[in-house]
Amino acid sequence: MPIHNRIADFHDDMTAWRRDLHEHPELGFQEVRTSARVAELLRSFGVDEVVTGLAKTGVVGVIHGKHASGRAIGMRADMDALPILEATGLPYASKTPGVMHACGHDGHTTMLLGAARYLAETRNFSGKVYVIFQPAEEGLAGGKVMVDEGMFDRFPMDMVFGMHNWPQIPEGQFAWRHGPVMAACSNIEITITGRGAHAAMPHNGIDPIVVASHIVTALQSVVARNIEPVESGVITIGHISAGDTYNVIPQTARMLGTARWFSPKVGDQLEDGVRRIATGIAASFGATAEVDYRRTYIATVNDPEATDLAADAARAVQGEARVIPMSKPTMGGEDFSFMLAAKQGSYIMLGGGRGPDDAQVHHPKYDFNDNILPVGASYWASLAERLLAV
Ligand code: NI
């Protein structure tokens, strides 16, 4: 059974929903139009219950199978966009300058909507399916807010599943992995305070730009020299700002960055290393460094049993050859991690079939591949019909 025929029938509808969402992207916890659109569509499909206002803008739809049972599963999509100025030039490009669906969450939302439509029409399962549309995946932990608000108590389910499109994987191919699949993350902000001076009289000041430069260089040694080589860790400084002009040594410099890891030990080593190097180097120059180190997302860890069920559901749609194990996890972050920490489940990747030279996720020219909409929706339908078989 490849793509569900009924789902293929409304591929055009799904493409239209996806492009409408793409034209109207909204940032985390501001998905007002998006969640209203999701709720409206769910109601139009005859979904039994549509609960809105979860974690501000989240929506959960409840679909009852043909037969009642105590069993239930959750299927989750994220709805938020990124603060990126779109540069695709597509006819359905973002109408909100500086906000863009550059991670394909418009596609995720659409694939789950497609599944909801099919499942509400056919109801060929027993128990309940919860379709979870969460806000604020991009850095604001909307998934964690939903868990903290008691989503799993309010909607009791046996397992929960997530899916992300992945442009580099061949079109329509699924990739699964037991155990860690996405990394834990932190946001790092370092403020260096030196002493401002005339650029021609550096001996009167303490140059925070020179201090920042040494810190950036020395931070590379944490991964290279403190972390055990077979472990994984990343520290990236993504922003430095200081000063305004040619001939002034500024008073302060500011650096923003992130660290990524899997093992708790490495997480502690990265934080210790950033704090030690920033404060130590600043002190050695007579400056001070204030380090604001915030751990944001925990690692996304797939339950092996749930992952095998997810992979089986994917094979039922795309066949053995197009469902492959991921050889390694990615260092990206994902707040579905908090749902997986609270509930047995799995997070799977769906290939978008873009080449290495095409724009990838979080790029201003990223373009979600609408060909995979019925594939993703069929996967969700397959998962529900198999796990909650009548
Ligand atoms: Ni994403």
Centre of ligand 1 to C-alpha 195, Å, is 41
Angle at 111 between CA 300 and CA 138, to 5 degrees: 40
Mean pLDDT by 10 residues, the chain (390 residues): 78 98 98 98 98 98 96 98 96 98 98 98 97 96 97 98 96 97 97 98 98 98 96 96 97 97 96 98 98 97 98 96 94 96 98 93 96 97 96
Centre of ligand 1 to C-alpha 389, Å, is 30
Q: Which helix (H) or strand (E) holds 8?
A: helix 5-9
The CATH superfamily holding the domain 5-181+299-387 is Zn peptidases (3.40.630.10)
In angstroms, what is the C-alpha Rg of the chain?
23
C-alpha 182/C-alpha 326 separation (Å) is 12
Centre of ligand 1 to C-alpha 105, Å, is 6
Q: What pLDDT score was predicted for residue 2?
A: 61
**Domain ranges within the chain, ordered by starting residue:** 5-181+299-387, 184-297
298: its two tokens: 């925990």
**Can you spell out the DSSP letters for 113-135?**
HHHHHHHHHH--SEEEEEEEEES
Asked whether 381 and 4 are in contact (CB, 8 A), the reply is yes
Centre of ligand 1 to C-alpha 336, Å, is 10
**Can you spell out the DSSP letters for 19-58?**
HHHHHS---TT--HHHHHHHHHHHHHTT-SEEEEEETTTE
Q: Residue 190, by phi and psi: left (phi above 0), alpha (psi -120 to 50) or beta?
A: beta
DSSP 8-state class, residue 260:
E
**Can you spell out the DSSP letters for 163-216?**
EEEETTSPTT-EEE-SEEEE-EEEEEEEEEE-B-EETT-GGGSB-HHHHHHHHH
| pLDDT digit string, tens, across residues 90-126 | 999 999 999 999 999 999 999 999 999 999 999 999 9
Centre of ligand 1 to C-alpha 235, Å, is 20
Cβ neighbourhood burial of 93 (10 Å; 0-12, 13-18, 19+): middle
Q: What pLDDT score was predicted for residue 3?
A: 72
Q: What pLDDT score was predicted for residue 4?
A: 76
Centre of ligand 1 to C-alpha 103, Å, is 5
Asked whether 60 and 146 are in contact (CB, 8 A), the reply is no
Centre of ligand 1 to C-alpha 8, Å, is 25
Q: List 258's β-bridge partners, or say none.
A: 187, 236
* Dihedral pair phi/psi, residue 151, rounded to 5°: -55, -40
Q: What pLDDT score was predicted for residue 16?
A: 98
Q: What pLDDT score was predicted for residue 249?
A: 98
Asked whether 293 and 270 are in contact (CB, 8 A), the reply is no
DSSP-derived pairing of the beta strands 126-134 and 67-78: parallel
Q: What pLDDT score was predicted for residue 1?
A: 44
Centre of ligand 1 to C-alpha 285, Å, is 41
Centre of ligand 1 to C-alpha 361, Å, is 7
Class of domain 184-297: alpha beta
